[in-house]
Amino acid sequence: RAGRAHHAGKGPMIRLDTIKAFDAALDALPEADAAAREAAAARQAELTKPAGSLGRLEEIALFLAGWQGKARPSLDNSRAVIFAGNHGVTRHGISAFPSDVTVQMVANFEAGGAAINQLARHAGLDLHVVALDPDRPTADFTVQPAMTEAECLDAMMRGAAAVDAELDLLVIGEMGIGNSTSAAALCARSFGGAVRDWVGPGTGLDAAGQARKVAVVEQALATHADAPLTASETLRRLGGREIAAIAGAVLAARHLRVPVMLDGFIASAALAPLVAQQPAIIDHCLAGHCSAEPGHRRLLHQFSLAPLLQLDMRLGEGSGAAVAVSIVRAALAAHNGMATFAEASVSGRL
């Protein structure tokens, strides 16, 4: 809570040590607790307000109730995790910043100096950082898979290990120079469409830089065109270690029934291959905000997720998601703290 990030410990893990285990975990997803959600809805119906008058705040409370399995959900133990890694594709000049910045920003997270440190503190989030060998970039995915099968599985397991069963909410963030290029490639391969519709400025590319980025993604898609269109193959070929870790963390959270708050384009794109294979994986996730990165709006539409906020943010780090946690806290304050009509001696509807 002091604002410094620390390394995540090992929590309960689902098995992600083989592709078969990953596919099995993705295929057999637990559902929300319908009885808890119904109990929360019954409470909402008795609170001193017209039905539906708090809009999405009411739906957020019901969402949390279902995944936490209690009619009065809470945010007493919530965690933001930043996954950091580097990408070999940066050799093509697709970022305005050098790869060294990833390692430097991990140090900044751990020292408490980044935006996410301040925003996590404000939101009451415990902040963890998981650095996935940023001194060892993935391979250049325009010519070969970004990761071997073993490397991708290891990253997913390290992501899963950052999730504990007792968490009330998991906030997902990332850091990785070049990862908006990876995100665009993942989305294009998972959902199709013109590559230029998925590519944006990232850390601040000009028009020439974005054109270069489009060409790099198109080359990558052509290189891997004959590969199986499975979540695991798409992740390992076009993702990064931090992106695979996000996929593992969200999958582990689902099996532990921990609700997830997604951040921006990259954090969301990590799930694109999973959603393409198993659309229900997104059901325990909230979209914290809609990033200024243009592909994010298109991706949230594919996910059928409506963002809680739209503040033109594009920092990453989990920053937009952390700001959105304050909205969730407001929803739960109203849901848990309001009096019922009977308690307040207020006449209900006729």
Structure tokens at 346: 């207020």
Q: How far apart are CA 92 and CA 321, in angstroms?
A: 30
Cα–Cα nearest to 83, from 169, 7, 3: 7
Q: How far apart are CA 217 and CA 109, in angstroms?
A: 30
317 noted as active-site residue: yes
- What separation in angstroms does the CA of 331 have from each of 63, 73, 337? 11, 10, 10
- Which value, to the nearest 10 degrees, does the dihedral of the CA atoms of residues 293, 298, 300, 303 take? -150
Cα–Cα nearest to 235, from 22, 61, 76, 38: 22
Q: How far apart are CA 192 and CA 89, in angstroms?
A: 21
Structure tokens at 9: 């410990």
Q: How far apart are CA 216 and CA 196, in angstroms?
A: 11
Spot the catalytic one: 151, 174, 293, 317: 317
Q: Which residues are catalytic?
A: 317
